[in-house]
Chain A
């Protein structure tokens, strides 16, 4: 009963209306909300940069911005969408949900949790003020000789955001290990908690390698070392090994929480328990492990010999298999389920569909001779955007709609939700299919100007991007207006508890126990 009372008290002066509360809160649900606010703001910022680029690319000649500004746009767009949208939005869900799912009162280290959030705005500010123009992969030695101070700020920004995610991950690992209530163990722990645990380990193993590479870069730039400069005995390829040793697992840092959250909401939406709990849980671990053995598939054209590259080709194909296992188990859950066509279900279905399309376009790159053609073309851009927007972001949208009534105690507008669904999905195929086609035709990525023959497909892609943009605006307006004025939602908005699958397992067990003890 005590929790209910504090809720009522809070309703009088909401915590987010006091700046002091915002800055000092350490409560996991409130930090979770701060993560959401932060990441959705940066989704808009990154989206505007994307639209700006698409506007420039509507015509072959450069006429909207100049070349350096365009290069900054794609650099900042890439860095920002990965580190300030897709990563933190799932940290937001993890903050809000993991303690409730394992029946813990909060994270193990609430103050560190606040620290990992507040490092993010600092990192984001450094990135935006620095405005670097070296692409998000920051290949040496271009990044070494680029005199702009913005590159140093980019390095520091990544250092800070890396620190933030390492602290956050340690916190989640300790929380999941130490604060699980009795009765929740590794054979019944919610799949989202599984995915966060594995993600946290990936972060702790991968991010320090990036930090190491960035530090060498900082030294090369400012203190005359030559780690990446061949004249001094260094090697530019070293950067690529360090960067992609982090960079590929980063893909799984983003996609595993998305898969985890889909594994939570899908069974509750179709009123049928998840099929193949163990297969999904273990495939998460398997993806996490195999994901560390594929990094050189980003380097097939660097001149490494086939003997060095072949293992990476095989590992890249192998890592597709556990992802496929997940897809089959989701489909098996759908089979015989009662599919309700509400907004979160639609986005869950489009997550699965786009994940299949995006995943298959990814497997092409594993074939080394195929990659010789596709590497660094728009095919790659189309592929990973299908995963990052089409799958990962749409999983975040699905989960946002699904948990919105939990967060705000109000319901969003279904009609606007469906409009968002249609515009996001029609828009993404208009945007990314032309990109795949452009890549096959031989259009390299990161081109400010391009050959006139590509204009038709580029114009189509720009149209698709605008459609996605409009949908996203409708989405956010829907959430903001419903937050204030939406109809009151029931505490069990999707009948999850009624069907024996309460949304937050640990919390439900705690409440049942409290009732038993009177």
Chain B
């Protein structure tokens, strides 16, 4: 084999090993997300419409901001009233589309109290960039 062939096969095998690792790690990470949804401490309904977010708590109160407690596993049920939106909490690296006709679920356990931004990440019309909400972790 020539030197180039060694480089070529080295790259192919190296990439394959790296990709296999990423694949397995991704599988376990996402499976963990999906399992988390079963044992949530609180379920909050999220209604998305052009161009605002509304959060409905188990006791029926409605709010334009999302208030949760640190250490609590929160399950968001995402409902769209018009077009596709996407709920994006950048500080947690989490995003889930809000699709009309289906209820998507986003689960997370905030640890650090503070104020975070919720942004709409799926283009939804003229007010897309103003479709922001506050996430307050107490």
Partners in one complex: yes
Picked from B26, B33, B119, the residue with its CB within 8 Å of the CB of A444 is: B119
Picked from A237, A368, A444, the residue with its CB within 8 Å of the CB of B88 is: A444
A502 within 8 A of B: no
B83 within 8 A of A: yes
A471 within 8 A of B: no
Picked from A67, A317, A328, A442, the residue with its CB within 8 Å of the CB of B126 is: A67
Most buried by A among B11, B117, B123, B128: B123
Interface of chain A residues 321 through 345 with chain B (CB within 8 A): 321, 324-325, 328-329, 332, 335
A16 within 8 A of B: no
Q: Given known contacts A145-B83, A303-B97, is B104 in contact with A373 (CB within 8 Å)?
A: no
Within the complex, what minimum Cβ distance (angstroms) separates B96 from chain A? 6
Residues of B within 8 A of A309 (CB): 30
Most buried by B among A276, A301, A446: A301
- Give CA–CA (A237, B99) in the complex, Å: 8
Within the complex, what minimum Cβ distance (angstroms) separates A151 from chain B? 12
Q: Kindly report which residue of chain A lies nearest to residue B122, judged by CB atoms.
A: A376
Interface of chain A residues 247 through 268 with chain B (CB within 8 A): none
Do A328 and B129 touch (CB < 8 A)? no
Q: Kindly report which residue of chain B lies nearest to residue A310, judged by CB atoms.
A: B27
Instruction: Please choose the segment from A43-51, A157-165, A447-455 that sits at the chain B interface, where 4 or more of its residues have CB less than 8 A away.
Output: A447-455
Q: Kindly report which residue of chain B lies nearest to residue A447, judged by CB atoms.
A: B129
A59 within 8 A of B: no
Residues of B within 8 A of A139 (CB): 83-84, 122-123
Do A67 and B97 touch (CB < 8 A)? no
Interface of chain B residues 61 through 100 with chain A (CB within 8 A): 82-84, 86, 88, 90-91, 93-97, 99-100
Q: How many residues of A contact B (CB 8 A)?
A: 60
Do B23 and A314 touch (CB < 8 A)? yes
Q: Kindly report which residue of chain B lies nearest to residue A373, judged by CB atoms.
A: B93
Within the complex, what minimum Cβ distance (angstroms) separates A516 from chain B? 37
Within the complex, what minimum Cβ distance (angstroms) separates A512 from chain B? 32
Q: Kindly report which residue of chain B lies nearest to residue A240, judged by CB atoms.
A: B84
Interface of chain A residues 360 through 394 with chain B (CB within 8 A): 366-370, 372-373, 375-377
Q: Given known contacts A328-B7, A366-B22, A448-B128, is B83 in contact with A372 (CB within 8 Å)?
A: no
Q: Given known contacts A314-B23, A324-B15, A369-B29, is B94 in contact with A442 (CB within 8 Å)?
A: no
Residues of B within 8 A of A67 (CB): 126-127, 129
Q: Given known contacts A230-B100, A313-B23, A367-B25, is B94 in contact with A448 (CB within 8 Å)?
A: no
- Give CA–CA (A231, B12) in the complex, Å: 48
Picked from A229, A234, A313, the residue with its CB within 8 Å of the CB of B26 is: A313
Picked from A145, A310, A375, A451, the residue with its CB within 8 Å of the CB of B23 is: A310
Within the complex, what minimum Cβ distance (angstroms) separates B33 from chain A? 8
Residues of A within 8 A of B115 (CB): none
Q: Kindly report which residue of chain B lies nearest to residue A279, judged by CB atoms.
A: B8
Interface string of A214-250 (1 = CB under 8 A from B): 0000000000000001110011110000000000000
Within the complex, what minimum Cβ distance (angstroms) separates B80 from chain A? 9
Picked from B23, B30, B123, the residue with its CB within 8 Å of the CB of A317 is: B23
Q: Kindly report which residue of chain B lies nearest to residue A302, judged by CB atoms.
A: B97
Within the complex, what minimum Cβ distance (angstroms) separates B12 from chain A? 6
Do B4 and A328 touch (CB < 8 A)? yes
Picked from A146, A301, A370, the residue with its CB within 8 Å of the CB of B96 is: A301
- Give CA–CA (A292, B86) in the complex, Å: 26
Do B86 and A301 touch (CB < 8 A)? yes
Q: Kindly report which residue of chain A lies nearest to residue B21, judged by CB atoms.
A: A367
Within the complex, what minimum Cβ distance (angstroms) separates B110 from chain A? 16
Within the complex, what minimum Cβ distance (angstroms) separates A331 from chain B? 8
- Give CA–CA (A73, B117) in the complex, Å: 27
B31 within 8 A of A: yes
- Give CA–CA (A234, B99) in the complex, Å: 12
A68 within 8 A of B: yes
- Give CA–CA (A146, B101) in the complex, Å: 18
Residues of A within 8 A of B30 (CB): 306, 309, 368-369
Q: Given known contacts A303-B99, A310-B27, is B104 in contact with A236 (CB within 8 Å)?
A: no
Residues of A within 8 A of B96 (CB): 301, 303, 372
Residues of A within 8 A of B135 (CB): none
A441 within 8 A of B: yes
A481 within 8 A of B: no
Do B101 and A230 touch (CB < 8 A)? yes
Residues of A within 8 A of B128 (CB): 71, 446-448
Q: Given known contacts A321-B15, A328-B4, is B84 in contact with A141 (CB within 8 Å)?
A: yes
Do B129 and A449 touch (CB < 8 A)? yes
For the complex of A and B, the 3 pairs showing the least CB-CB separation, nearest first, are A230-B101, A442-B90, A373-B93
Give me 17 other A-B pairs in contact (C-beta within 8 A), A133-B126, A145-B83, A366-B19 excluded.
A67-B126, A71-B126, A141-B82, A145-B82, A146-B125, A230-B102, A236-B101, A303-B102, A303-B104, A332-B4, A332-B7, A335-B4, A373-B90, A442-B117, A444-B88, A445-B123, A451-B117
Chain B residues engaging chain A, CB cutoff 8 angstroms: 4, 7-8, 11-12, 15-16, 19, 22-23, 25-27, 29-31, 33-34, 82-84, 86, 88, 90-91, 93-97, 99-102, 104-105, 117, 119-130
8 A-B residue pairs with CB within 8 Å: A230-B102, A305-B34, A306-B31, A313-B23, A314-B19, A320-B15, A329-B4, A369-B30
